[in-house]
Structure 1
Amino acid sequence: MLSLIIPAYNEEERIGQVLDAVIAAGVFDQVIVVDDGSTDRTAEVATAHRVEVVRLPTNRGKGAAVAAGLSRAQGEVIGFLDADLVGLRPEHIRALVLPVIEGQADMTIGLFGGGRLSTDLAQKLTPILTGQRVVHRRWLPPADFSMARYGIEVLLHKHVKDSGGRIVEVSLDEVTHHMKEEKLGWRKGVAARLRMYWDILKVMAK
């Protein structure tokens, strides 16, 4: 069984496109959207796509949303996708899943390419931060994801790598995402980005 977790916060304008691609790909048996205390219609849009929706009462951060999703996930293979992707297609999702279910990788990571320069460059420089992953459950770290907040990708990547897991990079051609500065405005977006980097640095320091 394959489960997919999509943490989402105020993504009503974007999550529908992601779910359209996920459903069209037809590879996940269970799709879980965790609404991280959104103040918009994120949960309603997800519900309309007939996926499993978990609603957190307040915004607790990506780590807590992922932890809530994992508590409901039944699959032996677990996928993670961001809710604000642009240009995601069913073939991208299948490309992420296949190496894991065919035994060629313990975890795949999806890297943007040909979407737009800013997000392409960011992932080339720091591929460890990508939120697009598929991993076998046995490679999940024992740590509480909710404590990592926005450092969960680093926590997961470091655990798999340090444990000797095989990590395969998958190119997500023409895929990008909405940056925090675009969603929140320049000042709030930069502040949110700095908080994210601080969480990441704390996880890397452990």
Structure 2
Amino acid sequence: MSVVAIIPAYNEGKTIGDVLKVLMPMQIIDEVIVVNDGSSDNTAAVARNCKARVIDLPQNSGKSIAVLTGVKNTRADIILMLDADLIGLTELHVRKLLGPVCSGNADMTIGIFKNGRGVTDLAQKIAPFLSGQRALKRDVFDKLEKYPVKDYGLEIALTLMAEKENIKVREVELENLTHVMKEEKRGLIAGFLSRVKMYWDIIFCVIKFRLEVF
């Protein structure tokens, strides 16, 4: 059973190296794919220096397209999704995500931050279905093709689809893990606007999903 880690990344040169340093030595992971989503910084160079496979998108296309591009470029049985801006990632976190899927006890796991930072912990307690840290069987992504997905709506689409398709989902706690917030990366105004777009994409996905599927 093969495992691939897919990391969508847009201008994450400052943090992606630390994520890759954890993943690259792990024998349970057969390949690490970084989808460089039109970055203007050194994201791709850092990823290549860490020996990850890099797929360059010509322009910023959004998280959904980046992840799905990675999926289309692998035949692995299990997909590990991780954000490029994680802080404090360890092998234990990765194994907690992969374990239930590799053992057949779940079709998809969703990682929930715990004891990382108050703001990110609270956000994931309120809306765990938005977490980007997941492991899932390849056929879950295959089923996603018939559902509407838009940019930041990937995670909520996976969650809604899981309900519809009776996919076995397990939430796992990822202690002492957090990520860089949009406002910290892009500044208060740009970060806020990016967050607004994220929530709009999520709302759009939910509405369209309900209309088309149910």
Report the TM-score range of the alignment, normalised by the length of the smaller protein.
Answer: over 0.9
- Judged with a 3 Å threshold, the aligned counterparts in structure 2 of structure 1 residues 145 and 83 are, in CA distance, closer, same or farther, namely farther
Unaligned runs of 5+ in 2: 209-214
Structure-2 separation of matches of 1:7 and 1:142: 18
Q: CA deviation at 1:128?
A: 0.4
Q: CA deviation at 1:73?
A: 1.7
- Judged with a 3 Å threshold, the aligned counterparts in structure 2 of structure 1 residues 11 and 144 are, in CA distance, closer, same or farther, namely farther
Mean CA deviation greater in 78-87 or 15-24: 15-24
- Deviation digits for residues 41-91 of structure 1 (CA, Å, limit 9, x no counterpart): 000000011111000011111111112111112201111000000001011
The one-letter amino acid paired with 1:162 is K
TM-score normalized by structure 2? 0.93
- Deviation digits for residues 154-183 of structure 1 (CA, Å, limit 9, x no counterpart): 111111222111111111100000000000
Does 2:19 correspond to 1:39? no
TM-score normalized by structure 1? 0.96
How many residue pairs get aligned? The number is 206
Structure-2 separation of matches of 1:155 and 1:183: 26
Does 2:20 correspond to 1:16? no
Which residue in the other structure is 2:163 paired with?
A: 161
Aligned residues of 1:64 and 1:145 also touching (Cα < 8 A): no
Mean CA deviation greater in 110-119 or 68-77: 68-77
| Partner SS for 2:83 | coil
- Deviation digits for residues 86-137 of structure 1 (CA, Å, limit 9, x no counterpart): 0010111011101001011110011100001000000000000000000011
The one-letter amino acid paired with 1:23 is M
Summarize the alignment of residues 56-205 of structure 1 with structure 2, pairs less than 5 Å apart: 56-140=57-141, 141-143=143-145, 147-205=149-207
- Judged with a 3 Å threshold, the aligned counterparts in structure 2 of structure 1 residues 85 and 144 are, in CA distance, closer, same or farther, namely farther
- Judged with a 3 Å threshold, the aligned counterparts in structure 2 of structure 1 residues 146 and 17 are, in CA distance, closer, same or farther, namely farther
Root mean square deviation, CA, Å = 1.4
Structure-1 separation of matches of 2:147 and 2:207: 16
